[in-house]
A and B are shown apart, each in its own frame.
Chain A
Amino acid sequence: MIRVVSMRRFFGRKFFRDIFNKLIGKDKKLKIGFYGHPNSGKTTLANRMTNDWIGKPIGLVSEIPHETRRVYRQEHVTLKHNGVELDFDIIDTPGIATKIDYKNFLKFGLSEIEAKERAKEATKGIIEAIKWLDDITGVLLVIDATQDPLTQANITIIGNLEARKIPFLIVANKIDLPEASAERISSVFPQHTVVPISALHGEHTDDLYRAMVKGFK
């Protein structure tokens, strides 16, 4: 007996759903890159986020610049806000700079050999961070709100995100410090959303999660 099986049954519902999702781009994995200067608090924020949503940190933090010298990835972080879920991968990148002077690391007690090694690793990390711009689908640009935000690294990152049409939010971090000014960041980049937070103390992270659901969903 010849059985006629319908196309739908033959391929199954999942097959058609996958094709449909591909067509509308829904299957594209959301990869959110954490970009910014060294010591702006990218890894502190990534740790805050992974602790809040999956209960474990992603990387080490320290006061010595260029602590993160390679890209760290945490897959499947699901953030929930007002009943809306945002499932994404965190791509924590090394801080972007145009120069690295190993002598700056000596001030933190590193030996000359350690400082030079750190500088060499940092240059590789910056190249890796720039390469990741080709593969990320959203960005949190983390800016230390106690510092001048108008730097070449920030200008280059924003310029590249705009040119590549990658959605991004500016995170004004370290607002717990008295010299911090999120307004200074907003005045320099008035056309972009700036979310003031303290990643270290978890202040206003709810505002960031709300903005992420709105901006990246």
Chain B
Amino acid sequence: MDTVNTNSLKMDFLSSTALSSQTSMEKISMIVDKVKNGDLVVMEGGLSPGEEAELIETTMREIDVENFMGIDIYTLEKDKKSFFGLSKSKTIGITIIGPANVMKAVKKKSNFLSMIANLGDSGASMH
């Protein structure tokens, strides 16, 4: 396990290609391990509804009232056109998952996400 530095924030960016080779359980354990370690995970695409439910369940099992209070998940969606371009639906473009005690203030609009990370006494913002 990496050493947690309270004044820094590690962000891992994961491409959809890297994630597609993993099973659901591998993805969930990897996310929970990273987030428990204080890291932020930024994923291209999203989890399936079943994986999201599994992630919440695994998080609940891992919560330790003193040290780990759970996660925050935010997604940015994008339009997905059908083959003939006749109908439009939404698909997840980016998913951000982080420790709930770090992801403090989040402003979300349909195409914009702003987050303030709380790092003890200092603060970092990302847009």
Contacts and interface: CB of A to CB of B under 8 A. Distances in A.
B12 to A, nearest CB: 19
Interface residues of A, number: 26
A192 interface: no
B61 to A, nearest CB: 7
B75 A155 contact: yes
Interface string A124-141: 101100110100000000
A98 B100 contact: yes
A107 interface: no
Interface string B37-63: 000000000001110110011011101
Interface in A84-106: 96-102
**Contact count band on B:** 20 to 34
Contacts of A152: 52, 72-75
Contacts of A159: 48-49, 52
A160 B50 contact: yes
Given A99-B72, A150-B108, A163 B49 contact: yes
A121 to B, nearest CB: 11
A160 B63 contact: no
Could you tell me the dominant secondary structure of chain B's interface residues? mixed
B65 A130 contact: no
A159 to B, nearest CB: 3
A120 interface: yes
Interface of A: 96-102, 116, 119-120, 123-124, 126-127, 130-131, 133, 150, 152-153, 155-156, 159-160, 162-163
Interface of B: 48-50, 52-53, 56-57, 59-61, 63, 65, 69-75, 100-101, 108
17 contacts: A98-B56, A98-B59, A99-B59, A99-B63, A99-B69, A100-B60, A100-B65, A100-B69, A101-B69, A116-B65, A119-B63, A126-B56, A130-B53, A133-B53, A160-B49, A160-B50, A163-B48
